[in-house]
Amino acid sequence: MHDYFNQGLETYIHEALFILFQFCLLIQLYFLVTNQSRLTRYKPSETLPEATVPISVIISARNEANNLRENLPAILEQNYPDFEVVVINDCSYDSSDEVLEELSKIYPRLKVVTITEHDRFKTGKKFALTLGIKAAKNEHLLFTDADCMPASYNWITYMAANFNGSIQIVLGYSPYKKTRNFLNPFIRFETIKTAINYLSAAVNGDAYMGIGRNLAYTKTLFFNAKGFAAHMHILSGDDDLFVNQNATPDNTAIEINAGAFTYSDAKTTLVSLFRQKKRHFGVGKLYKKRHRRMLSIDAVSGFLFYILLTLGIVFNFEPLLALGLFMFRLIFQLVIYSKLFKRLDSKDLLWYLPFFDAVYYIYLNTFGLIGTFIKTTQWK
């Protein structure tokens, strides 16, 4: 009797877990079909658009002498009629000031704002960006980082062309350069998955974040929103929190033409990657409730999907059906991602999809928990 009861309980648990597995599959398919697939239908401009609005490019840099020397000329030499580049030298103690002084003699478009370290008042990136925005002479602002290289000399043109009608925010894309470092493929995979999510949300009229390496908005929007005041106490979030709090279905556009990308170097060690992601995930708890709920459902359902798939195979409970459902989802992913990965310069990563997708959801949940409990104390 006891053995019969245990056998019945075990069967019930297996069936319940398998039903949960199927439920997680349906949630994942929902995100693929209703959210991400819409981005595949979005067609960026194939010809160089016309844009004439004056642009202020803003870069906050702390100890970025080498990056400024390498990347800033490509920004200062953009093929655009009316723009300036405002670089905030934020308490640097390397040779950034010398590099900027040399470049200022060559490029009259360069404007430098210098912040010096104060014994009692410690500045952060948001403070630096606020000073840069105040120093900018133009209404339309385009942001990137010192370690970013525009994909073309028409980067400003592509981004600026979106400022028409009611558009006040333009979300760009910033992939990482491909290298042989062992972390590089996954970092690039995580970057494109994140981009597909936030770009799809914007196309669907519910933008929830942007990336400061390639982001534009208006000065009027910034000051009407009182800048970063709502989250100045959080060191990160100058990009995603600002977009989360100020984007609407009518004021946000995306730009994913390959000429509008900005490239940067990915982290090369686990320690540096951990520090970066700890900062990024720490701001998610300040997103709007519906965005937190959406991202949590995606993260948890994806994580459980792979956990329950593994349990079904290991304990030999409907393993063939479980694998069949996994392949069904994988085919859906390949249909949708093949076009997006190619468009976003990551088609080589499709080969990693079955493995990296599982790692991605483990990573999301791990850093989500870390970001909830750990407070960051530096922006760089």
Average pLDDT, the chain: 90
CA distance 288 to 279: 18
**Are 171 and 215 within 8 A, CB to CB?**
yes
For residue 8, pLDDT over 80 is answered with: no
Q: What pTM value is reported for the model?
A: 0.91
CA distance 288 to 174: 24
Kindly state the greatest CA–CA separation across the chain: 90
- Helix, strand, coil shares of the chain as percentages rounded to 5? 55, 10, 35
Predicted local distance difference test score (pLDDT) of residue 5: 46
Predicted local distance difference test score (pLDDT) of residue 270: 80
**Are 341 and 350 within 8 A, CB to CB?**
yes
> pLDDT digits over 55-91, tens only?
999 999 999 999 999 999 999 999 999 999 999 999 8
**Are 82 and 50 within 8 A, CB to CB?**
no
**3-class DSSP state for residue 233?**
coil
CA distance 201 to 204: 5
Predicted local distance difference test score (pLDDT) of residue 100: 97
> pLDDT digits over 168-197, tens only?
999 999 999 999 999 999 999 999 999 999
User: For residue 310, what are the contacts with CB-CB under 8 A and spacing of at least 6?
Assistant: none
Predicted local distance difference test score (pLDDT) of residue 379: 44
> pLDDT digits over 235-252, tens only?
777 899 999 999 999 999
Predicted local distance difference test score (pLDDT) of residue 279: 63
Nearest-Å Rg of the Cα atoms of the chain is: 23
Question: What does the pLDDT average to over 192-211?
Answer: 95
| ∠ CA 117-118-121, rounded to 5° | 120
Q: Which residue has the higher pLDDT, 357 or 5?
A: 357
DSSP string for 277-322: HHHHHTTGGGS-HHHHHHHHHHHHHHHHHHHHHHHHHHTTSSHHHH
**Residue 86, phi then psi, degrees to nearest 5:** -105, 115
Residue 373 token pair: 């409990």
Question: What does the pLDDT average to over 221-231?
Answer: 91
Burial class of residue 167 in the structure, from the number of CB atoms within 10 Å of its CB (0-12 exposed, 13-18 middle, 19+ buried) = middle
For residue 378, pLDDT over 60 is answered with: no
Measured from the Cβ of residue 41, the count of other Cβ atoms closer than 10 Å reads 8
> pLDDT digits over 92-148, tens only?
999 999 999 999 999 999 999 999 876 556 678 899 999 999 999 999 999 999 999
Predicted local distance difference test score (pLDDT) of residue 377: 47
